[in-house]
Chains A and B, each alone.
Chain A
Amino acid sequence: MVDLINIAITSIFIENILLAYFLGMCSFLAISKKIETAIGLGFAVIFVNTITAPANWLINHYLLDDGALAWAGYPTVDLSFLQFITYIAVIAAMVQVVEMVIDRFSPTLYASLGIFLPLIAVNCAILGTSLFMGTKGYNLTQSTVFGFSSGVGWLLAIVSMAAIRTKLRYSNIPMGLRGLGITMIVTGLMAIAFMSFVGIKL
């Protein structure tokens, strides 16, 4: 149990998937202008991440990994080179399902998210989570917690950024820095703030 809490705290604060690993920036930059849309997108990311991490783990463990096909009688086969394409296919399929669910239950949210919903499929943070859980060697429960917490960390970063940008709306920013430039610098300062969590051990 403690290791799960450790994983959660680490992936939300210390190894924040956006502020420490730079993943998920594209949609982050474009959608962080309004807090409501940021929150909506954040929750969508958490949801997709929490489903795809264990799904990909299962596929890797029972089909792709070195020796995974032992149950079918092929213990020496190593299909791990198919990870990239399988993971992204699973993610794209899940996003399609989430899209249909949101459209059915909350057409307003669907309308405000617009094109960014299908863009979650190519959100580096989601593919990154699936790939990282492999390099960190997590088991099924750990991967699910990791998926959920990475999503929460991403939500935290994007909502904070939306809040900051709302405040910045009436500031006098130099022409060249407006939009992307100042967002980058603010993100840098946020990243410094999050670095204060490094070294926390439970």
Chain B
Amino acid sequence: MSPADTAENSVITSSVSIFGKKERKAAFDPMWDNNPITLQILGICSALAVTTAMKTALVMSISVIVVLALSNIIVSSIRNLIPAKIRIIVMLSVVSSLVILVDQILRAYFLDLSKQLSVFVGLIITNCIILGRAEGFALQNKPWTSFLDGIGNGIGYSLILIIVAFFREFLGKGEFFGFAVIPESFYSMGYQNMGLMILPPGAFIILGLLIWLQRSLSGKFEH
């Protein structure tokens, strides 16, 4: 949460608009300019483990978007009722319940994916993005704006996840969404999958390179 962000958030608007300037900023900023992973440095933990395949990355992304948006709405709606002393644990309770719901639904309707994600669904609770946005945005803003902020950050997060997963799956397994895309002829000519991409180091390196690219393109550097 950069200082610029907090200054924006404390501006009081008297009008309620659906897609006013502030709402658009909340929704679209986090997708690129203020991307939660590459710029805010949040949410990396569970990001990397699920990027070995695009399918798992996609399911994780959707789960995070849902939990983030809902938690932002709920926290924002009760923001004037939460006692200051217990606010962290109240936010954690809200997030945990949402994650339990998501986990139960996955086990009931998408057992395959649930098995592949295993404990990483539970780790959404500790995903810094969710608590970071709840604490840094939802507590000071109206429900609708908070919802948009949640969606924006969720999409920004998903973008990075899916790009990393694309490279890891393509270079490391020669697949796209589980379908082999590299022709057999390449393999017989001696082409080999870059196994390192599937292992943890591959994730770190691809993410590092992606951050380099994203920051150079958006011009937001760290010093």
> Which secondary structure dominates where chain A touches chain B?
helix
Residue-wise interface mask of A (154-188) relative to B, using a CB-CB cutoff of 8 A (1 in contact, 0 not)? 00000000000000000000111111111111011
B207 contacts A184, C-beta separation under 8 Å: yes
If A22-B49, A26-B44, A178-B222 touch, does A92 touch B96 (CB 8 Å cutoff)?
no
In the bound complex, residues from chain B placing their C-beta under 8 Å from that of A188 are 200-205, 208
Interface size range on A against B: 35 or more
* Segment from A2-10, A59-67, A119-127 that makes contact with B: A119-127
In the bound complex, residues from chain A placing their C-beta under 8 Å from that of B99 are 84
* Segment from A49-57, A70-78, A189-197 that makes contact with B: A189-197
Q: Tell yes or no: B128 within 8 A of A by CB.
A: yes
B221 contacts A24, C-beta separation under 8 Å: no
**Using a CB-CB cutoff of 8 Å, which residues 155-208 of chain B contact chain A?**
196, 199-205, 207-208
B45 contacts A185, C-beta separation under 8 Å: no
If A85-B100, A128-B119 touch, does A184 touch B216 (CB 8 Å cutoff)?
no
Q: Tell yes or no: B106 within 8 A of A by CB.
A: no
Closest to A188 in B: B204
Q: Tell yes or no: B97 within 8 A of A by CB.
A: yes
B122 contacts A127, C-beta separation under 8 Å: yes
If A84-B122, A124-B123, A176-B215 touch, does A22 touch B201 (CB 8 Å cutoff)?
no
Q: Tell yes or no: A88 within 8 A of B by CB.
A: yes
If A85-B93, A189-B201, A191-B200 touch, does A182 touch B208 (CB 8 Å cutoff)?
yes
Select the residue from B203, B205, B208 with max chain A CB neighbours within 10 A. Answer: B208
Complex partner residue of A92 from B92, B103, B104, B127, CB under 8 angstroms: B92
Closest to A122 in B: B126
A121 contacts B93, C-beta separation under 8 Å: no
Complex partner residue of A131 from B41, B119, B214, CB under 8 angstroms: B119
B41 contacts A30, C-beta separation under 8 Å: yes
B123 contacts A131, C-beta separation under 8 Å: yes
In the bound complex, residues from chain B placing their C-beta under 8 Å from that of A131 are 119, 122-123
**Using a CB-CB cutoff of 8 Å, which residues 79-130 of chain A contact chain B?**
81-85, 88-89, 92, 118, 121-124, 126-128
| A26 CA / B41 CA spacing, docked (Å) | 7
Instruction: Looking at the assembled complex, report how far the CB atom of B40 sits from the nearest CB atom of chain A, in whole angstroms.
Output: 10
| A185 CA / B208 CA spacing, docked (Å) | 5
The 6 closest A-B pairs by CB, nearest first: A188-B204, A184-B208, A179-B222, A185-B208, A176-B216, A124-B45
12 inter-chain pairs at a CB distance below 8 angstroms, sorted by A residue, are: A22-B203, A81-B103, A85-B93, A88-B125, A88-B126, A131-B119, A131-B122, A180-B41, A184-B207, A184-B208, A191-B204, A195-B200
Report which A residues bind B (CB closer than 8 A): 19-26, 29-30, 81-85, 88-89, 92, 118, 121-124, 126-128, 131-132, 135, 174-185, 187-189, 191-192, 195
